[in-house]
Amino acid sequence: MKTHAQAVVIGGGLVGCSILYHLAKLGWSDVVLLERDELTSGSTWHAAANIHGLHDNNNITRIQHYTMNLYKELEKETAQGCGVFQPGSLYLAQTEAREHQLRLQEAKAKFYGLNFYEVSREEARELHPLAHFDDVRCIMFEPDGGNVDPSGVTMAYAAGARALGAEIERFCPVIGTEQQADGSWIVRTSKGDIHTQWVVNAAGLWGREVAALAGLTLPLQPTEHQYFVTETIPEVANLGRRLPSIADRDGEYYFRQEGNGFLIGAYERDMRFWAEEGTPLDFAHELFPDDLDRIMENVIRATERVPCAETAGVKRVINGPMIWSPDANALWGPVPEVQNYFICGGIIPGFSQSGGLGLLSAQWMIEGEPQYDMFAWDLARFGDWADKKFTKARVEDQYANRFAIHFPNEERSAGRPARVRPAYEKQSELGAVFGMNCGWEHPLWFADTPGLKDTNSFTRQNWWEPVGREVQMLREAVGVIDISNFANYVIKGPGAHDWLDRLVANRVPSEIGRSCLTPLISVRGGVAGDFTITKVAEDEYMMIGSGMAERYHQRFFNMVALPEGTTFEVATNRIAGFNVAGPKSREMLQRLTNADLGNEAFRFMRSRRIEVAGVACLAVRVSFTGDLGWELHCAEEDQLRLYTALLAAAQECDGGPVGGRALGSLRIEKGYGSWGREYSQEYWPQEVGLAGLIKLDKDFLHKEAYLAIKDNTPREVLSIFEIDADNDADASGGEPIFTPDGQSVGRVTSGAYGYSVGKSLALGYTNPQVAQPGDVVDVMILGKPHKARILPEAPFDPEGKRLRA
């Protein structure tokens, strides 16, 4: 066995073998995989192994498409059969909402050049003559859908990796992982130790236990999951061809051919957790006792769809474990707080995603960053607040609602609240309907009746009109927005300026009371983040960024060494904040402070420590609303006192509380981008309008990467659209954009109704070789073309006069 390796992959299931293969494929042949038992042990061997290409997340769609195409290439490369069956998949919509989802996915498939299109009931019956479709309002067909052989795929990855020089050690349990002073690791096994640069935890059901060896706790929880295979069904055997699978999400089951019978599975509401206190170390190829009664309601719906299955005998029942993250997406990426420890776990549709997971994992370790923005999978989306109680509650909800649509703007309540601020109860009394950001509860909108909750769909919902009233109130008077879910960082010491200046691309202020906006450059030269940095005292700075990206950005902060005597603090937990904005914001705040807030005394992008209603605040004259306004940052313990005073003063000026949904509309009216939507490492600064904030007369993180792409012609440019909406739905993000003759233009990143300008708006990326400002395009809202015009400038205050008033 090796004693040194570039990477050690722990876990010989589907994903571990894919990561090993892709590491070797990208050039790291000095890699080894350690498996405690036999390859496929755990949850790989008993998987239903269905494959599909489309996903609500655009980048996940891209890597699922890569994965589906990879299997046949693997077979050619390794001569190891993957058991690929691709008779296609029929996607059924019984409800209007499901039809909207499928039509949107059809539009995305057209944009990405994938095979997914609508078929009639008659065409569906020709494809699957044993199924009934009379109750279905819309049917889509994916010709490449199907299934694979779990063991065959895993063995193909393993064979491909070995052929490229990788090694695999079976029956070799890992008993320790110890980090060394230089960031490398010693992996201790029953067969000896391996010194490695990277540890990759792909241990599946044992991911929690392997993480614990490194002192890490992961938000993962296993459950039971059942499906069964029928005996031979004459109608199936007599067809002489393989039937397409049926994806009837509204029926809450999955259904495909297996041999000359059917495989039927379900994610039942009456779910069961397993191994809550830890996965047994002697578990390998075992299954749980059958409990088909739990899924019989789902099975009945499946047999109503395909009646010949109703009387078929049951040949085999599989009741085995799966391990879930709190949102059912992969828990993936390098641990920000620990150098060179990579995690890939909690993968549910593994056979649709294994190739993409392996490729992007290898890119991250070898090249420093994956090619796509995959924050939807990044483990940094969870923090310590995602504890065992939260994880169990969310996993239960995800499992029981596996096939439920995740609507735009939907906020599920399971496991909440995880973290609250002192103003939470008062906001509840005011009718706040909350969302969750990085665990924090924050008001999305304020209902007239306390206790009201969101309704959810693809169309405008119960919050649309109240949010409009909040927007109009702020634009005409003043609004108070809780921004305590933003990330706050405090940097102190003699090297604070030098450290920040070497980190970010803009010049860091050297004068107390000045602020700057600055991008953070990614490994490939894209936009890793955007921050407001304020010099608050001699040798002290405050930096504000995206709340949900707090752990993600920690990786970049760790890339620049802190000078001696300088400290960096993640201060989000102890600092709360509000944005007071609107044309009457100065008048309102002046009633609460003795500080001079006049334009000459307190100019745009300036800051000052002031008292507001007796509360010590850092006031920064900046506003994400695009209107006159100040951000006020105070100690968390003072938040409720400050909030109470602000609301009382706002009421005297015809203002009041404003939520996050209104802020979303306000910033889109102004054309402001947001991290995770408009800004990510995929996009170059010149494509998002941030190149002017980059100063080349100084050093900054990944400057060389930026220099390599700075003169490139933009592939896409951030644009703003005015849409001819049908008074029923607005863009929300992800919708493809085409020219009137069907040529791909780009895609929406954010959308909202612009209440103060009376227009349905969207931000998104367009190919400048195809469309320019002033051109008319089609935005595929609800999967249907809606005429839109690319605007030459933001529709609200394009010259920024309100900001600087």
What integer best gives the mean pLDDT of the chain?
Answer: 97
pLDDT in tens, 448-501: 988 899 999 999 999 999 999 999 999 999 999 999 999 999 999 999 999 999
The single residue listed with the structure tokens 């990944």 is: 702
Burial of 510 (C-beta count, 10 Å sphere; 0-12/13-18/19+)? exposed
- Please report the beta strands in 582-650, taking only residues with DSSP state E, as ranges in sequence order: 607-612, 615-620, 629-635
Instruction: Give the residue ranges of DSSP H helices in 1-95.
Output: 14-25, 58-78
Strands 167-169 and 341-345: unpaired
Contact 291/298 with Cβ under 8 angstroms? no
pLDDT in tens, 211-268: 999 999 999 999 999 999 999 999 999 999 999 999 999 999 999 999 999 999 999 9
Burial of 591 (C-beta count, 10 Å sphere; 0-12/13-18/19+)? middle
Using CA atoms in the order 325, 331, 337, 339, what is the torsion angle rounded to 10 degrees? 150
Q: pTM of this prediction?
A: 0.96
d(CA 593, CA 259) in angstroms, rounded, equals 77
Which residues pair with residue 324 across a beta bridge? 221
pLDDT for the residue numbered 69: 95
pLDDT for the residue numbered 65: 94
pLDDT band for position 727 (50/70/90)? confident
Contact 48/384 with Cβ under 8 angstroms? no
Q: Over 90: is that where the pLDDT of 62 sits?
A: yes
Contact 15/9 with Cβ under 8 angstroms? no
pLDDT for the residue numbered 256: 97
Three-state secondary-structure class, residue 592: coil
d(CA 306, CA 781) in angstroms, rounded, equals 33
pLDDT-wise least confident of 53-57, 437-441, 693-697: 53-57
Buried b (16+ CB within 10 A) or exposed e, 253-285: bbbbbbeebbbbbbbbeebbebbeeebeeebee
Tokens of 316: 């085999």
Tokens of 695: 């100063």
Q: Over 80: is that where the pLDDT of 726 sits?
A: no
Q: What is the mean pLDDT of residues 334-352?
A: 97
Contact 400/91 with Cβ under 8 angstroms? no
Q: What is the mean pLDDT of residues 85-95?
A: 97
Residues of the chain with pLDDT > 70, as a percent, come to: 100
pLDDT band for position 725 (50/70/90)? confident
